[in-house]
Amino acid sequence: MYSGMDYIRISKTRSDVSLREILREKMQVNGISENALADALGLDRRALNKFINEGSDLKFSQAVLLMRFLHMDEGDFISAYEESMPSAVDDEMETAETLSYIMEKFEIPALKRIGIIGKRTPLDTYEEQIMTFFGFNQSIHEYDTFIRHPALFSRSRRPIEQVKAQKMQEFWLKCAIYSFERINNPYDYDRDTLEQFMKKIHEYTEDVKHGYEKVVMILFRLGITVLTQPYLEKTGAFGVTMIVDGKPCIVITDMQKNYHKLWISLIHELYHVLNDYDLLVSASFHITSENEPDLLFNEQKANSFALRVLVPQDVISHLETVVLFDSKMEQIAKRLAVDVSILYGVYLESLPVEKQSAGYMKYSKYLRKTSEVSRSVFFNPF
């Protein structure tokens, strides 16, 4: 056995020297034959011969024995072991690293459910499918760099469900930014006209099928791009407002599929455009979410603003006394030039949170669904 032999320790290992070269040097200096070394360490002779002379791969467990024999620390060993690998193994390692990156960045089950990744496609095609979706030309790592915004979230330790939600929210935001940059609204942002338009935006609710669509088109001419999307699971967001290339951009998610909520969410985000523009520029984006309210933005004021734009405050205060009378609600809606479902929706949204659930159950028959709205207004990037 060679355990008592005076081996020469390799004092310094270069990162570009392979385990094979280090082993050859030590065997040569100490006059050790391949067969003797194989017998001493319990290695297969043929495998050791092929590793040293033919450049073949060596099992990791066998390589660890050589690490001990060569008195190498773990860092030097890993570098030298990687240098010894054939190109085919290098390709496998690159694939493993790519899959690791994909698992870290993307919530795979959710991407399968929305069709970005095929449900039964092999793992090694995930990269190609995601790159195709985003139009990447070089590698999947463009996901980190193809937008000009800073990192969206911290990487602090969180429970697994929060991690999944975080990945989907980041994916949703990057999809939105990518879409806005491709749309590239050519009109300048016109804040003054927007302020004037807000005084009559409620009138468009009467045209249930096309009113929301018309408003989106008008806002586009005012330099504000609005995308209305199906709700993406785990994101927990009603909407997001951001500044892209100096222009306000809004995403509204059809989370509850209620007509009044579509309008309230849109006007809520327009409040942030009107009142928080500079803050949006510095913060990059603002997400409207019940689960994680953004403390930098006053959500209560934005909610109140949205309700008052649709229905005057004095009427909101009076609704509780007439909500049980269908004919009176119809009369008020006609006088205000809003669809009557908006009145019921604003009434429910103005209730204390603890009473809203019961209220929705009681008055749900008076609420419209977004399925009545022209489908041309809905944008599905997935």
Please name every residue paired with 242 in a beta bridge, in sequence order, or none if there are none. 249, 285
Q: Which residue has the higher pLDDT, 96 or 256?
A: 256
Q: Which residue has the higher pLDDT, 185 or 14?
A: 185
C-alpha dist (Å) from residue 185 to 126, 241, 249, 270: 32, 15, 9, 17
Q: What is the mean pLDDT of residues 295-324?
A: 92
Q: pTM for the whole thing?
A: 0.72
Other beta carbons within 10 angstroms of residue 353's beta carbon come to 7
In this predicted structure, what is the pLDDT of residue 156?
53
- Please determine, for residue 58, whether its predicted confidence score (pLDDT) is greater than 80: no
**Annotation: CATH topology of 19-85:** 434 Repressor (Amino-terminal Domain) (1.10.260)
Which pLDDT band holds residue 237 (cuts at 50, 70, 90)? confident
> What pLDDT, in 10s, does the model give residues 14-33?
456 777 888 888 888 777 88
**Domain residue limits, the chain:** 19-85, 100-146, 163-377
- Please determine, for residue 323, whether its predicted confidence score (pLDDT) is greater than 90: yes
Q: Which residue has the higher pLDDT, 239 or 10?
A: 239
In this predicted structure, what is the pLDDT of residue 332?
97
- Please determine, for residue 324, whether its predicted confidence score (pLDDT) is greater than 90: yes
Average per-residue pLDDT for the chain: 84
Which pLDDT band holds residue 154 (cuts at 50, 70, 90)? low
Per this entry, what is the length of the chain? 382
| Weakest mean pLDDT among 88-92, 278-282, 321-325 | 88-92
- Please determine, for residue 239, whether its predicted confidence score (pLDDT) is greater than 60: yes
In this predicted structure, what is the pLDDT of residue 10?
36
Q: What is the mean pLDDT of residues 228-237?
A: 79
Question: Of 300, 188, 295, 286, nearest to 241 (Cα)?
Answer: 286
Other beta carbons within 10 angstroms of residue 326's beta carbon come to 11
Which pLDDT band holds residue 167 (cuts at 50, 70, 90)? confident
In this predicted structure, what is the pLDDT of residue 286?
87
In this predicted structure, what is the pLDDT of residue 353?
87
In this predicted structure, what is the pLDDT of residue 159?
72
